[in-house]
Amino acid sequence: MSNYYGNNIHLNIFGQSHSQAIGVTIEGLPAGIKIDLDRLDAFMARRAPGQNALTTARKEKDAYEIICGLAEGRTCGAPLTALIYNKDQHSKDYSNIKDMPRPGHADYTAAVKYRGFNDIAGGGKFSGRLTAPMCIAGGIFIQLLEERGINIFSHIYSIKDVKDKPYELTGPFEDVSQKELPVIDNNVMEAMKETVAKAKSELDSVGGVIECAVTGLEAGLGEPMYDGIENLIARTVFAVPAVKGIEFGRGFEASLLYGSENNDEFRIKDGRIYTETNNAGGILGGISSGMPIVFRAAFKPTPSIARAQKSVSLSKKEEGILEIKGRHDPCIVLRALPCIESAAAIALFDLTI
């Protein structure tokens, strides 16, 4: 079922882009916890649009309200529900894309699945806006994971063909979240900005890759076969719109290596077993090895573009041209980092609680 995740927790995301509110219910948080709301705000701000000139111009703060689940400021064992009210769902006309689905979007597949009753306004339940409640959950879990020494990092691995320096798979991992662009190598910022700006000026969009690392996860977590760490993180990461690929450790590149190159040899130091390299991305047989979990998620370019595109009128059953004027976010990757971190946090918090 779609908007629901969890084995040990229950995470339930609801709302459409233009419904009265969107939100999330989280069940399974330990009782007695104080959520640092300032930190959660800061985390959410990394996802919000309008942060810089590169992203969409619309300035929007995702002001959430926790409507239950707390007592005297602490979690109380009851499910926690947080809402974000949609203030400006004005009467913009969406009838054009209701009839003529946007290429690359879920307009068509949703129309088929829900027999035309899907909410098209703003993308409905398929809107990237739904990553806001995902980040509320993720932001809370990240705080709780950190208390147990588990930290999640991410950086822009690439925007189109502009690549940042990749992570050393064994770590350490620099926190670049507060940089103007969250990259390791400051020298690539300019080229990335130009790439996005060019796409924007051409009414087009670009994609990219986000690399994410998790440190501090003890060895022995995860289950072989269907509930390995790869399986679980893949399931939560593909919930982030526009993700089309995921790889762990050396990932696809591992297919080019010899076994003798790819196998991570075991070492021991001060009684602690580790591996010299971390091509496995911290996962062997689905189970954490104690080394950092490292994965990369590939984003397709934002499907929303302002260029004219061929499409089909669902009512007239004929081909036509769709052109959508107005602001577009030329590169959602720039603000998708907290979504990917949240995806990892959701999978791992559920696994470790």
Q: Could you say which residues in the range 175-204 bind a second copy, by CB under 8 A?
A: 199, 202, 204
Pick from 37, 53, 63, 68: which binds a second copy (CB under 8 A)? Answer: 68
| Minimum distance, C-beta of residue 38 to a second copy, in the bound complex (Å) | 20
| Minimum distance, C-beta of residue 65 to a second copy, in the bound complex (Å) | 8
Residue 298 found at the interface with a second copy (CB under 8 A): yes
Q: What angle do helix axes 337-352 and 37-47 make, rounded to 10 degrees?
A: 130
* Residue number with CB closer to a second copy (42 or 104): 104
| Minimum distance, C-beta of residue 168 to a second copy, in the bound complex (Å) | 18
Stretch that binds a second copy, among 41-49, 56-64, 180-188, 228-236 (CB under 8 A): 228-236
Asked whether 307 and 255 are in contact (CB, 8 A), the reply is no
Pick from 44, 120, 142, 150: which binds a second copy (CB under 8 A)? Answer: 120
- Show the binding pattern over residues 77-106: x = contacts a second copy (CB under 8 A), - = does not: xxxxx-x-----------------x-xxxx
| Minimum distance, C-beta of residue 185 to a second copy, in the bound complex (Å) | 18
Q: Could you say which residues in the range 320-349 bind a second copy, by CB under 8 A?
A: none
Cα 209 to Cα 243: distance, rounded to the nearest angstrom? 9
Tokens of 348: 């791992």
| Minimum distance, C-beta of residue 314 to a second copy, in the bound complex (Å) | 8
Helix (H) or strand (E) segment spanning residue 153 = strand 151-159
- Show the binding pattern over residues 28-67: x = contacts a second copy (CB under 8 A), - = does not: x--xx--------------------------------x-x
* Residue number with CB closer to a second copy (42 or 122): 122
Stretch that binds a second copy, among 44-52, 147-155, 183-191, 250-258 (CB under 8 A): 250-258
Residue 221 found at the interface with a second copy (CB under 8 A): yes
Cα 121 to Cα 22: distance, rounded to the nearest angstrom? 14
Cα 189 to Cα 95: distance, rounded to the nearest angstrom? 39
At residue 233, the 3 state secondary structure works out as helix
Cα 11 to Cα 198: distance, rounded to the nearest angstrom? 39
Pick from 52, 267, 315, 323: which binds a second copy (CB under 8 A)? Answer: 267
Our CA dihedral for 68, 73, 78, 83, rounded to 10 degrees, sits at 30
Look at the chain and count its residues. 353
Q: Which residues, other chains included, contact 344 with Cβ-Cβ below 8 Å and sequence gap of 6+?
A: 152, 212, 214, 233, 236, 237, 293, 295
Q: Are strands 243-248 and 309-313 parallel, antiparallel or unpaired?
A: unpaired
| Minimum distance, C-beta of residue 222 to a second copy, in the bound complex (Å) | 8
- Show the binding pattern over residues 141-170: x = contacts a second copy (CB under 8 A), - = does not: -----------------x-xx---------
Q: Which residues, other chains included, contact 186 with Cβ-Cβ below 8 Å and sequence gap of 6+?
A: 179
Stretch that binds a second copy, among 55-63, 147-155, 175-183, 298-306 (CB under 8 A): 298-306
CA 8 to chain centre: 21
Tokens of 147: 């208390």
